[in-house]
A and B are shown apart, each in its own frame.
Chain A
Amino acid sequence: MISTTIQIEGEGMQMLRQLDAALVNRVELHHDIAIRVENETRDWLTELAKSRHKTADALGATPTGHLERAAESVTSAFDDDGATITVTSPGITRAFDDLTITPGPGKKYLTIPATAEAYGKRAGAFNDLRLAIFRKDGAYLLALVKADQSSLATRESSGFGIESQRARGSAAPLKAAQRPPVYYWLKQSVTQKQDRSLLPSDALLMKAADEGVKDWLRDFFAEQAAAN
C-alpha cells in the first residue's frame, strides 16, 4: 500500500480550501498515480525482457518472451479507495515470495527442459520421447530422452528403460555419443527463490506515485488558474 502526503507551503488559504474540497473525491488523484505506476512497471518489465534470458542462453535456445507478455499485460484500475496495478503472468508472483512449482492435476512430475529443442515446449509436443532412468552415485534420475530413431530392437538398454553407464558386457562407460539425448529431466517439484527484482523496487514505485500526485496537482492548479 502506498500512501501520500501532500504539503503546501506559502500563502493561499483559498487554494488550500479548494484543494481540500477537491481531495474529498480522490478518483482522479488515484487515476494519475495508477498511470504513473503502471508505466513504471511496464518499462521495468520491458527492460528485463530485453536482457534477462539466463536459461535460454544457457541452452542456446530462443527465448519464450514471457516477460514481454508480462510487460504488455500490465494494467491499472483506480477508484476512490486507491489504485491497483495488475500483471498477468504466472511467474511474476516470484517477486513477492518463493515460488514452488508442482505438477498439474493428474501429473506426477515436472518436465525441466535440458536442450534447446525442448525449451519453450511441453513434452507432449514430441511424439518420440521415452522414459529413461539414469543411475548416478547411487541415486536415480528420471528423464525423457529422444527414442532411438534407427531401430528399437538394437537399442542398448534394458527392457525397462534403465540406462546404464556402461554398454552391455563392457566395463567401459558409454561414450557421450552413445547416450540417448536427454530432452527433459523429471522432477516432482521445483522451488524458485523470491526475486524482488522482477518488479520495480518500492522506492521506484513510490517515486512514480509521487509523480502521479504532481500530475494531479499540476492539473488542479491549471484548472484553478483557468477558472480565475
Chain B
Amino acid sequence: MNALLQPAPFFAALKLLAQKNLVPTELDTEQLRQIDASIRRQALFSARMTQLQALQSLSDALNAMLEGTGNLADAKLTLLDSLRELGYDVGQGGFPQDKPGLVPSARKGSLRDLASDKRLTLTITTNYRMAANQVYVTRGLEPRRLKQWPAWELVRIGRVRTPRGFKRGAMEPLPGDDWPSRFVAAGGELFDKGTRMIALKTSDVWQRLGDGAGGHKDTLGNPFAPFAFGSKYGVREVPREECLTLGVLVEGDAGETKLSTEDALREFVYRGLMPKSEWSKGKIRIAPVTSKATAGGVDPKLISAMKRDLFKDDDGLLKLRQAEQAQARAAYGNRSAETPLRNRLGMLCGLINARSARVRTAMRTPVDRSAAAKKGWVTRRAHGWRPSPRPGRAAVQRMKTEARTGASSLGSALSRQRDVPEGMTTPKLGKIDFTWGRPGNPAANEHGVTYADGYGISHIHAKRGMEAIRRLPVVLARGRVLPHEEPDRRIVQYAGWSAIVKEHGKGRWEVRSLIDDLVVANPKKKGMRGGEADMKHKPLLKRLKNKAARLSLGEAGPTTKMDAGEEHPGPTHAAQRFAKDGVVASKDSRLHGLRARCKALVVALQRNGELRTANGEPVLA
C-alpha cells in the first residue's frame, strides 16, 4: 500500500507522553498552579480528576491522536466512556469512589464538569498541544537549527469566536489581556511597526509569557505553546536573515546564539525542557544520568574553576594552573572557599591522569604469558583462550539505564496492550520498538511448536510468561548481536536468552520473540531457530549456556577513552587488574560518579575550545 496513504505517528511526542506519570488529583486549577511547572510537566493530570482509570483513558486517547489513528471526537468519546463507567456525576460531587466532600459539586455542562463537551475538548487539546509544542521547541534549540532559525514568533494558529483581549460573547475590550500586551509585559518587543511578536529562542520572554507576566492567571507555566488555557496562539520559527532585517538580531553580535555547554544545559533545565530535570540552588540535576550527561550534580563553581585553571601539558596530562594567592582568593571568593575547590580540582587531575598514565603503561607492557606455563599451570590461556573485554563501569551504567528505560516502556506496552515505539535505544541496534503483535495459536503445530504464528510482546508474554518479559530489556541492553539466517533479522543473546529483532525501518528494530536455549554456535544453520526444536541438543546447549553465562558480554565502554579523541581497542587484562586496584575511584567513593561527570566535562570543554595549554592556546580535539 502506498506509504503516503498511511497515518504517520508523531513518535517524538508519543515518547514524551509515555514518560509522563499519571497523577490523579483533587486539586483545582489554582492550587495546581502553585506546583512548580517543571514538576507538572512530568505528569499527566487534570484538575479534579481523581481516578487513575480516567487518566489512563485520557492517555490512551492522546496516544491514538498522536499515532494518527484517532481524532478529537474519538478521544472525547474514549474519555467520556471511562467517566460513565466510573459513574461520574458532577452534581453528586464527581466520582462515587471519592470520599464525600473531596470535590465540590459544579454545574452540569460547565468547565468544572469533567464530562462536559467543553471540558473534554479543553483537556484533550491542551495536552495534545503541550506534547506537540514541547517537541517543536526542544528541537528548535538544537545548535545548528538555533543558529539558522534563532527566534520564535507568536502567531495565531486557529480561529476563535472571541479573541483574547475582549470579554467573552461581547466586543467589550479587556485592556492588557490581548496577546501583544501580554508579550510586552513579559519583556518582549514588537517588530515590523508593532505588528509582530518576535523574540529570540534563548530569551526569557517565553518563560515569562507562560508564567503569566502581567498578573494573568490562565497560563500553564510553560515556555512553549499553548501559553494559556484555550489559546489559539502558537509559535513559528523565524529565519536568521529575517531576524537581521527586522532588527531582532544584530550582525556580528558575539554570542548571539552561541551557547557554551554549561549555558546550554542550564537553558534546557531552566526551561524545563529536559524531562525529569530540576534546577535549584545553582545546581543542575539531569536524569537519567548517563556517561554523556555532563553537569549532573556538579557545582557550577567547580565548572567555572575548571575552565579557568585546568590546562593540558605537552604530555597530554591535565595540570592545575598555579595562581598567586591573592589572585586565587579573588577567583574563588575567599580563602576558605579556595582550598576545597583547588583540592578537588587537584584530586580530579590526579585521578584522570593516573588512570590515563597507568592504562597507557599497561598497554605498552606485554603480558607475560609464559610465566604461567613456567609455573606448570595449565591455563585456558595456554589453549589460546582470551577473556572477552569486560564492559567498563560507564558502559555498565549505560546498559542499566537502557534496561530500565526498556522495562518502563515494556510495562506501558503490557498495561495498554499496544505498540510502544522507540521503547528503548541501544548503541548496537539503535531504536527498538515494542510491537504488541499477536500471541499466536496456543495449539501446537505439526512441528510441536506452540504459538508458532505469533510475534511481538503479546507473543512473548503468552508463550514465555512474565519471567521472559522481565528479562527482555536486560537481554536487549546487554546482549551481543549475532547474525540471523534472514538478512533483516538479528539475534541478541545474553545469559541463555536470545531475542529476535527484525529491522523495519532505517535504524529501527521491532522485537519479534524471546527464546531460551537458542543454539548460537551456528546461527545460520537452518532449522536451529526454535526452542522446542532444539531440545534434542540439550547437552550441547547446556555447555553453551554455561559458557555464555561465564563470558562477559557487551562492548568496551567509554571509559576506555583516555583523552578526547584518543581511543584504545579495549582494556587489557592488565588494565582490568589496575581497575581492581582502585586506581579509579571505587563505587562506594563519593567521587565515583563525580569523577566520570567531570571527565566528561573536560572532554566537552576541549570540544568547545575552552580548555587551554600552558601558553593559553586552546587545546584542539
Q: For this complex, into which size category does the number of interface residues on chain B fall? A: 35 or more
Closest chain-B Cβ to A50's Cβ sits at a distance in Å of 6
Complex contacts, B74 vs chain A, CB 8 Å: 122
**Across the interface, which residues of A come within 8 angstroms of B155, CB to CB?**
46
- Asked if A88 and B8 make an inter-chain contact with CB atoms under 8 angstroms apart, the answer reads yes
Chain B residues within 8 Å of A49, by CB: 157-159
**A88 to B66, Cβ gap below 8 A?**
yes
Say whether A120 contacts B72, CB under 8 Å.
yes
Closest residue to B73 on the A side, CB-wise? A122
A137-B76 Cα distance, complex, nearest whole Å: 37
Q: Would B125 and A65 count as touching, CB distance under 8 A?
A: yes
Q: Which chain A positions have C-beta within 8 A of B76?
A: 121-122, 125
Among the listed B8, B71, B133, which residue makes an inter-chain contact with A86, where contact means beta carbons less than 8 Å apart? Answer: B8
Q: In the bound complex, how far is the Cα of B6 from the Cα of A96, in angstroms?
A: 11
> Is B472 interfacial (CB 8 A cutoff)?
no
Contact of B72 among A32, A65, A71 (CB under 8 A): A65
Chain B residues contacting A90 (CB-CB under 8 Å) are 7, 68-71
Bound-complex Cα distance A86 to B506 (A):
16
A195 contacts chain B at the CB level, 8 A cutoff: no
Q: Which residue of B lies closest to A76 (CB)?
A: B139
Q: A-facing mask of B51-71, CB < 8 A → 1, else 0? A: 000000000000001111111
**Nearest B residue to A84, CB-CB:** B8
Chain A contacts of B158 at CB under 8 A?
A: 49-50, 63, 65, 68
Docked CA distance A90–B7 (Å): 6
Residues of A within 8 A of B232 (CB): 65, 68
Q: A50 to B159, Cβ gap below 8 A?
A: yes
Task: Tell me if B538 counts as interface (CB < 8 A to partner A).
Answer: no
When chains A and B are docked, how far (Å) is the Cα of A160 from the Cα of B613? 92
With A86-B8, A87-B8 known as contacts, the answer to whether A43 contacts B236 (CB < 8 A) is yes
Contact A73 B2 (CB under 8 A): no
Residues of A within 8 A of B380 (CB): none
| Distance between Cα atoms of A121 and B144 in the complex (Å) | 43
Contact A124 B135 (CB under 8 A): no
How many Å lie between the Cα of A121 and that of B278 in the bound state? 40
Q: Which of A59-83 contact B (CB under 8 A)?
A: 62-66, 68-69, 71-73, 75, 79, 81
- Which residues from chain B contact A120 at a C-beta distance below 8 Å? 72-73, 121
Query: Contact mask B125-139 → A, CB, 8 Å, 1/0?
Result: 100110011011001
Q: With CB as the reference atom, state the residue of chain B lying closest to A118.
A: B73
- Assuming the contacts A68-B157, A73-B13, A96-B4, asked whether A39 and B237 have C-beta atoms less than 8 A apart, the reply is yes
Q: Which of A98-152 contact B (CB under 8 A)?
A: 120-122, 124-125
Q: Does B298 contact A (CB under 8 A)?
A: no
B68 near A88 with CB under 8 A, answer: yes
Residue B80 lies at the interface, judged by CB distance under 8 Å to chain A: yes
The answer to whether B159 and A63 touch across the interface, beta carbons within 8 angstroms, is: yes
Per-position binary interface string of chain B over residues 1-38, scored 1 when its CB falls under 8 Å from any chain A CB and 0 otherwise? 01011111110110000000000000000000000000
Contact residues, B221-268 vs A (CB, 8 A): 225, 232, 234, 236-237, 239
The yes or no answer to B77 lying at the interface (CB within 8 A) is yes
Range, interface on chain A: 35 or more
B117 at the interface (CB under 8 A from A): yes
On whether A35 and B157 interact (CB within 8 A), knowing A72-B136, A89-B68, the answer reads no
The minimal Cβ–Cβ distance linking A6 to chain B, given in whole angstroms, is 18
Q: Which residues of B contact A50 (CB under 8 A)?
A: 156-159
Cβ contact of A93, chosen from B4, B10, B13, B161, cutoff 8 A: B4
B149 within 8 A of A: yes
Distance between B406 CB and nearest chain A CB, rounded to angstroms? 23
Contacts of B178 in A (CB 8 A): none
Interchain CA distance A73-B149 in the complex, whole Å: 19
Q: Is B157 within 8 A of A71, CB to CB?
A: yes
CA gap between A96 and B149 in the complex, in Å: 30
A-side contacts of B144, CB under 8 Å: 28, 31-32
CB contacts (< 8 Å) of B68 on chain A: these are 88-90
Partner among A32, A65, A125 whose Cβ is within 8 Å of the Cβ of B148: A32
* A222 nearest CB across to chain B (Å): 10
- A97, B73: Cβ atoms under 8 Å? no
Enumerate chain A residues within 8 angstroms of B121, measured Cβ to Cβ: 120
Question: Is B453 among interface residues, defined by CB-CB distance under 8 A?
Answer: no
- Chain A residue nearest to B128 (CB atoms) is A69
Q: Quick check: A72 and B157 within 8 Å, CB to CB?
A: yes
Interface membership of B313, Cβ < 8 A: no
Question: With the chains together, A46 CA to B133 CA distance in Å?
Answer: 14
Q: Which residues of B contact A31 (CB under 8 A)?
A: 144-145
Report the separation of the CA atoms of residues A42 and B158 in the bound assembly, to the nearest whole angstrom.
13
Q: Is there an interface contact between A64 and B157, defined as CB atoms closer than 8 Å? A: no
Contact A125 B69, CB 8 Å, known A53-B159, A97-B5: no
**Cα–Cα distance between A122 and B117 once the two chains are bound (Å):** 11
The contact string, 1 if C-beta is below 8 Å from chain A, for chain B 487-523, is 0000000000000000000100000000000000000
Question: For residue B8, which residues in chain A have a CB less than 8 angstroms away from its CB?
Answer: 86-88
Nearest CB of B to A146, in Å: 16
- Is A96 touching B5 in the complex (CB atoms < 8 A)? yes
B81 at the interface (CB under 8 A from A): yes
Q: Beta-carbon contacts of A190-228 to B below 8 Å, as 1s and 0s?
A: 000000000000000000000000010001000000000
* Chain B residues in 8 Å Cβ range of A39: 149, 236-237
Identify which of residues 172-200 in chain A touch chain B, using a CB-to-CB cut-off of 8 Å.
none
- For A28, the chain B residues whose CB sits under 8 A away are 144
Contact across chains for A124 and B157 when beta carbons are under 8 A apart: no
Interface members, chain A 36-53 (any B CB < 8 Å): 39, 42-43, 46, 49-51, 53
Do A46 and B10 touch (CB < 8 A)? no
| Chain A residues positioned under 8 Å from B157 (CB to CB) | 46, 49-50, 68, 71-72
Given contacts A51-B159, A88-B68, A215-B148, 4 further A-B contacts (CB under 8 A): A46-B234, A50-B156, A68-B157, A125-B76
Give A contacts to B, CB under 8 Å: 28, 31-32, 35, 39, 42-43, 46, 49-51, 53, 62-66, 68-69, 71-73, 75, 79, 81, 86-90, 93, 96-97, 120-122, 124-125, 215, 219
Q: Can you list 30 A-B contacts (CB < 8 A)?
A: A35-B145, A42-B236, A43-B236, A46-B157, A49-B158, A50-B156, A65-B158, A68-B157, A68-B234, A72-B132, A72-B234, A73-B10, A73-B132, A75-B136, A87-B8, A88-B7, A88-B10, A88-B65, A88-B66, A88-B67, A96-B2, A96-B4, A97-B4, A97-B5, A120-B72, A122-B77, A125-B73, A125-B77, A125-B117, A219-B147
3 shortest interchain CB distances as A-B pairs: A122-B77, A88-B10, A72-B132
